[in-house]
Amino acid sequence: MSNHKGSPGRAGPAADVGRWFSTATQPAAPPATVTPEAAPSAPISSRPLFRLPAWGPVPHAQYGHRSEPELLAEAWDLLHGEPTAVLTGAGMSTSSGLPDYRGRDAVPRAPMTFQEFMGSDLARRRYWARSTVGWTQFLRARPNHGHELLARLGDEDLPVTGVITQNVDALHQQAGSDPVVDLHGRLDRVRCMGCDAVSGREALHRRMLTMNPALASRLPELAADAAQAPDGDAEADRNADFRYPACPLCGGILKPDVVFFGESARREVVREAYALVEEASRLLVLGSSLTVQSGLRFVRAAVKASTPVVIVNDGPTRGDEQASLRIHGRIEDVLRAWAGS
């Protein structure tokens, strides 16, 4: 296992697992048949005042802006004591060491597409090789103060109907939030694309280390290499001999149980998320740029139902014009202010 050093509770720089990994020198465009509804990383079809990048920082964005305390108090007055659905994005987990996609420190890269993963044995070898290198570091991530404050508010002053998260790290559950809808799945699970069986990612990790002893023996070195490479590339990327197993039940293709670019979220999961919004009298968005329809649709649904929407994010979002109140700042700072109210 990797002994790459990092801060306790934070994923190391090699933990690029949540980006589904760079697979090309140019960003991959979604197939023409893929709609924004089906592609969580695809730009939505609406016409905002600005265009957010698919990956990487927003040009000319005023990152670091902080809303006045009076505005934070106004937002808390709107939310306090009201049944609230919470929608979270990658900005919720950056303090745990996991990367975001369009924040100030986001690294532009090309995401792995569903079509590429399913259609290419070489792409799967490359994905699983990189995933094996980054997995141990990914597991270092622990809930940050923002996760903990949200769970605490949900137990005390903010009756949360549920947390809908676009993240795949399960940190909300670890912090004590309940219920949590994992809109884009969870990276600690693996799903067979043949028989739909779900299994644990850690067991697969151990299996792949056994199948690839040369990589296993160099795991600390490869993790350090991935952490230091300026383009985020890892030597494991070039390991075309990497071996990965098929489903032990049906021989089908195993895939991380997360929604890839170009893949639809599971319908039952989306229905569950909508139900949480419908139960609520408020919608609170934390750490999401709402670039994709996958998250933005819940803001639109709330607005259509005349449900007030509060958005907290560092940097612009595609829901800004629809927000009842727009708060700029770090998630932890805002939640800390509300917890002390």
State how far the Cα of 88 lies from the Cα of 90, in Å rounded to an integer: 7
Instruction: List Cβ neighbours of 96 (8 Å cut-off, separation of 6 or more).
Output: 9, 10, 11, 141, 142, 143, 144, 147, 169, 171
Task: Provide the b/e sequence for 214-233 (b: ≥16 CB within 10 Å).
Answer: ebeeebeebbbbbbeeeebb
The amino acid at residue 181 is: V
Alpha-carbon distance of 162 to 177, in angstroms, equals 8
Active site residue 184: yes
Distance, CA of 323 to CA of 313 (rounded, Å) = 12
Q: Are 317 and 290 in contact (CB under 8 A)?
A: yes
Distance CA 9, CA 97 (A): 8
CA distance linking residue 308 with residue 143, whole number of Å: 28
Of 251, 293, 331, the C-alpha closest to 66 is: 331
Sheet with 198-200, edge to edge strand ranges = 198-200, 185-192, 254-258
Choice among 172, 184, 205, 328 that is catalytic: 184
Number of H helices, E strands in the chain: 11, 9
CA nearest neighbour of 154 among 170, 172, 131, 141: 172
Q: Give, in order, the Cα–Cα distances in Å from 97 to each of 93, 175, 279, 306.
A: 7, 16, 33, 36
Q: Active-site positions? A: 184
